[in-house]
Chains A and B, each alone.
Chain A
Amino acid sequence: MIQLFHATKYYDRRPALTDVTLQIDKGEFVLLMGPSGAGKTTLLKLLYCATSLDEGQILIQGRNVARIRPSAVPYLRRTMGVVFQDFKLLPKKSVYDNVALPLLVQGLSAFETRRKVMEALKAVGVDHRKESRPAMLSAGEQQRVCIARAIVNSPIILLADEPTGNMDAELACEIVELFRTINARGTTVLVATHNRQVIEQVGRRIVTLDQGKVVSDEGRGQ
């Protein structure tokens, strides 16, 4: 599903990711661990093509991301759902419109859009806030809306960058449970976190990064 071969990324000649080789199979739930600045976000950004690779190769479903044409990037992104640490919700649009955006981009019918959006909102438990603007929601609710937007088009890969950052333990637990449910439906999930509670709760494959290098890869195949 996802393969990295000696992936290296520099920011201003400083390596953010060095010689990372990694394979993630279809349907896996992988936790990406490491302290701040370890390269977790960079790795995720490389996967959804928000930044370019300097050395090595990345294959996603057999497609070489390093050589992908710019015009093909949007179509690759549509196969993924991304949960951003800062949510990245459109402030002037309602919760419903935010979640419907990936479907609008793909040109789905109004009927299908409504069905899928309501399904995603119900799955994350914020369907009662569909008319609200993001600013009127709590951080936890905004995170759920972000997750709903990431899963609304049934992606084959779900990437989440610190999804439980700044959340209390109870809320973090709920979010992790949500990811487990999504993973149980067959979606490959890759979560970057440094939250110990999340790691204990998930208990799956854990890839640890430090100073841009993979220092451990435990529990593969779980």
Chain B
Amino acid sequence: MKRLVHFVREAVANIRLNRTTTIIAVATTAFTLACFGVFLLLYLNLRAVATSLQSDFKVVVYVQDGVPPQGLSELHASLKTDPGVQALTYVSKEQALTDFRAQFPTEYHLLQGLGENPLPASFVVTLAPALRSPDAVRRWAERLKSAPGVDQVQYSRDWIDNLTTIVGFLELAAVGIGTVLSAASVTIIASTIRLTLYARRDEIEIMRLIGATGGFIKIPYLIEGAMLGAMGSVLSLVMLKGGFELFKIRLGFPGRFLGIDSGFYFFSGQMATLIVAAGLLLGFIGSVLSVLDLGRAKP
């Protein structure tokens, strides 16, 4: 316990001793992490939109005209017991006509000219989450097309798939950019710790000579690096939050956008904690790189 207090005290003393380099290191780390944070926010929000769209995704199974009531019941029963179907709504021919009239009142006269109701009955199917991938949907639809009483199976998820692809690319880019910016943070913190080590080289030598182990000498610098990383990430979160709020005010976003619940989200508490932990870890890695050779006794 006494040692731990000593290590933390030394780390804080180092930070206070090299105030200017500390401020520069924390600010640079904060800017670097903030750049990554902007990207991460964009990715998380787009992913949320894609997920929301995917959960709204529906398949329409059109029923052949003239299918007897028993055939319709059998089709209904087979869809209801299908493990791939999460929810099912039957839309009768009459209901389809009413919906059409409500949605397209000016075009309704076109149907009237035909005499008989040309709109087919249908089942609106919400697929289970496991079947929402493009391949799974295609396989499920192909299988259903050959079922008795089914005329057509329609779904349009091209643009959802495109969005999912974009999110996938963003994910890859996030990993790439994250790696580069993380390396930059590690380098910045490593340089700061190296400057501290240089400033305190005489003290380190004295510590060695009185019998301090490498660990005893290194630990305060590891703590210092971790503290710099954590401070940088907290500052980056503050900057991001400020920028985020400003962005929302400037754009005056409505509650919904393109029919999707588009309220932009900031990092959750858990995510923010993870970012601070990541900053702490990056700082720790930076200081580990700096102190690798430190404290090694020279017999």
Contact = CB atoms under 8 A, between A and B. Distances in A.
Interface of A: 48-52, 65, 68, 70-71, 73-75, 77-78, 82, 84, 88-90, 92, 101-102, 104-107, 109-110, 149
Interface string B270-299: 000000000000000000000000001111
Query: Which range holds the interface residue count of chain B?
Result: 20 to 34
A109 B213 CA distance: 18
A185 to B, nearest CB: 20
B203 A90 contact: yes
Contacts of B209: 48, 50, 77, 82, 84, 88
Nearest to B3: A107
B248 interface: no
B286 to A, nearest CB: 24
B6 interface: yes
Nearest to B2: A110
A82 B211 CA distance: 11
Contact of B211 (A71, A84, A105): A105
Contacts of A149: 210
A57 B214 CA distance: 25
Question: Which among B3, B203, B216, B297 has the highest number of chain A CB atoms within 10 Å?
Answer: B297
Contacts, number: 62
Contacts of B41: none
Given A107-B2, A109-B2, A101 B210 contact: yes
A211 to B, nearest CB: 25
Given A75-B211, A102-B211, A106-B211, A70 B297 contact: yes
A222 B208 CA distance: 34
B3 A70 contact: no
19 contacts: A50-B298, A52-B298, A71-B213, A74-B211, A74-B214, A77-B210, A77-B211, A82-B209, A84-B209, A90-B203, A92-B17, A101-B207, A101-B210, A104-B6, A105-B213, A107-B2, A107-B3, A109-B2, A110-B2
Contact of A49 (B2, B6, B203, B299): B299
B130 interface: no
B75 interface: no
Contacts of B17: 92
Contacts of A107: 2-3
Contacts of B298: 49-52, 70
Given A70-B296, A74-B213, A106-B211, 19 more contacts: A49-B299, A52-B298, A65-B299, A70-B297, A70-B298, A70-B299, A73-B297, A74-B297, A77-B209, A84-B209, A88-B209, A102-B210, A104-B6, A105-B211, A105-B212, A105-B216, A107-B3, A109-B2, A110-B2
A105 B210 CA distance: 8
Contacts of B114: none
A125 B273 CA distance: 53
B223 to A, nearest CB: 16
Interface string B1-24: 011001000000100010000000
Contacts of B13: 92
A88 B297 contact: no
Contacts of B211: 74-75, 77-78, 102, 105-106
Interface string B196-212: 00000001011111111
A84 B210 CA distance: 11
A70 B298 CA distance: 7
B18 to A, nearest CB: 13
A84 B298 CA distance: 18
A134 to B, nearest CB: 11
